[in-house]
A and B are shown apart, each in its own frame.
Chain A
């Protein structure tokens, strides 16, 4: 399957728009938690930003206090909905700015990795949209997304490889039994089988460490992407990390495109 540079950029843009729509819809659903009576009340949180200069504090007060923050979320979902049909730097900039504001509202990040990947994709897309005529900038942006994507697996794999708990399977057993979902008897039984855990641990480590091989060509890349998607679905089932599926899903077309470029 051949994808042109522009088609790939458009695909990445549409997919990240879908991810942002889902993320923002979830945030609307938990709006009570950042209202004035909620856990993350701005009246408490704003003390965290006291060291910023006055104009920045004014801007943050204006955008992050409740109910103004709902307007930010509305703007975010509106920009993402339009980005499903149109490509424009202003739309991507709006998505990037509102994504950073959402992270600030939760003291840096709301959901860790998925926020990182969303911002990585939006930053690269913004640059590509600011220079729509430049093939080189477009290619650089896709390469940046692809390298961050490779790093996300590769670094996660290498740090696991260093840990004896991962190599023995003990870490995986511990993680499986400490998520946000209750541990079923079946899962508990699985977590108590060291040989199975070690086998699965090594599969995960090898998959993550070998992920850079996906750059070699598009057939290998497709194989890695399909495995990665299954890996994401397993993570949703085990740990409830659904936002990762969509944030990473938006980045895969960039990797696929880069794996097909002849770099010689």
Chain B
């Protein structure tokens, strides 16, 4: 049989009060780079709060004297497997890539008109450029001698929506491969 003490009821009431409080509570953004870097010490449990715009990464390449090829998606999907319950290195890396894209999108919100070039020297942009460089397969590189250039694009897509509804949020500079 259940034995429920008075203090257990009190605990439960406290939680229900917290629920009522949370329903009217708005999250506030706390600025500060140090807090951001040490955010693991301040847990946030707002998982899957609502549908949001997710950034999608594309790239295209060209030979020095040629035109750019078509935009291609840079990140491919992972594959499900039973062993990934225990060991999912590739899946977690992909999630970290996705986190990087979201970080770039967040950082872009502080970019003001005229400071776009400055953004290209930011840590987020440079990491993104390295990510794209790693994701371009050899088969996509133009044949022949001479340097190859690439460009990447970040689009924003509402979760669950068709890709055609994506909106553009960043087109990169051209980079030599």
Which A127-169 residues have a C-beta within 8 angstroms of B? 148, 150-156, 158-163, 165-166
Complex interface: stretch among A4-12, A68-76, A79-87, A208-216: A208-216
Partner of A111, one of B4, B80, B92: B92
- Cα separation A154 to B16 with both chains bound (whole Å): 10
- Cα separation A171 to B29 with both chains bound (whole Å): 23
Q: Does B30 contact A (CB under 8 A)?
A: no
B87 to chain A, nearest CB (A): 6
B residues in contact with A108, CB < 8 Å: 36-40
B residues in contact with A174, CB < 8 Å: 51, 158-161
**Given contacts A110-B92, A182-B77, A215-B8, are A49 and B85 in contact (CB under 8 A)?**
no
B residues in contact with A175, CB < 8 Å: 48, 51, 159-160
When C-beta atoms are compared, the residue in chain A nearest to B78 turns out to be A180
Q: Is there an interface contact between A216 and B12, defined as CB atoms closer than 8 Å?
A: yes
Q: Is there an interface contact between B23 and A162, defined as CB atoms closer than 8 Å?
A: yes
B149 to chain A, nearest CB (A): 20
Binary per-residue interface labels of chain B (16-44) against chain A in the complex, 1 for a CB within 8 Å, 0 otherwise: 00110011000000000110111111011
When C-beta atoms are compared, the residue in chain A nearest to B97 turns out to be A39
Residue from A44, A113, A120, A191 having most chain B Cβ neighbours under 10 A: A44
Q: Is there an interface contact between A242 and B11, defined as CB atoms closer than 8 Å?
A: no
Partner of A220, one of B2, B94, B159: B2
Q: Does B167 contact A (CB under 8 A)?
A: no
Interface size on B, residues (CB 8 A): 64
Q: Is there an interface contact between B159 and A240, defined as CB atoms closer than 8 Å?
A: no
Q: Is there an interface contact between B86 and A22, defined as CB atoms closer than 8 Å?
A: yes
Q: Does B67 contact A (CB under 8 A)?
A: no
B27 to chain A, nearest CB (A): 9
B residues in contact with A97, CB < 8 Å: none
When C-beta atoms are compared, the residue in chain A nearest to B135 turns out to be A39
- Cα separation A212 to B90 with both chains bound (whole Å): 34
Interface size on A, residues (CB 8 A): 81
Partner of A22, one of B37, B50, B87, B131: B87
B residues in contact with A159, CB < 8 Å: 22, 46, 49-50
When C-beta atoms are compared, the residue in chain B nearest to A174 turns out to be B160
B41 to chain A, nearest CB (A): 7
Residue from A41, A119, A158, A161 having most chain B Cβ neighbours under 10 A: A158
B residues in contact with A191, CB < 8 Å: 160
**Given contacts A110-B96, A171-B50, are A212 and B12 in contact (CB under 8 A)?**
yes
Binary per-residue interface labels of chain B (98-139) against chain A in the complex, 1 for a CB within 8 Å, 0 otherwise: 111001000000000000000000010011001100100000
**Given contacts A171-B51, A233-B85, are A264 and B6 in contact (CB under 8 A)?**
yes
Q: Is there an interface contact between B51 and A33, defined as CB atoms closer than 8 Å?
A: no
A residues in contact with B6, CB < 8 Å: 264
- Having A39-B127, A181-B78, A213-B12, one finds 9 other A-B pairs with CB under 8 Å, namely A25-B89, A26-B92, A39-B134, A44-B127, A45-B123, A115-B40, A158-B23, A162-B22, A219-B2
A-B residue pairs, 5 tightest by C-beta: A174-B160, A240-B91, A116-B43, A29-B89, A264-B5
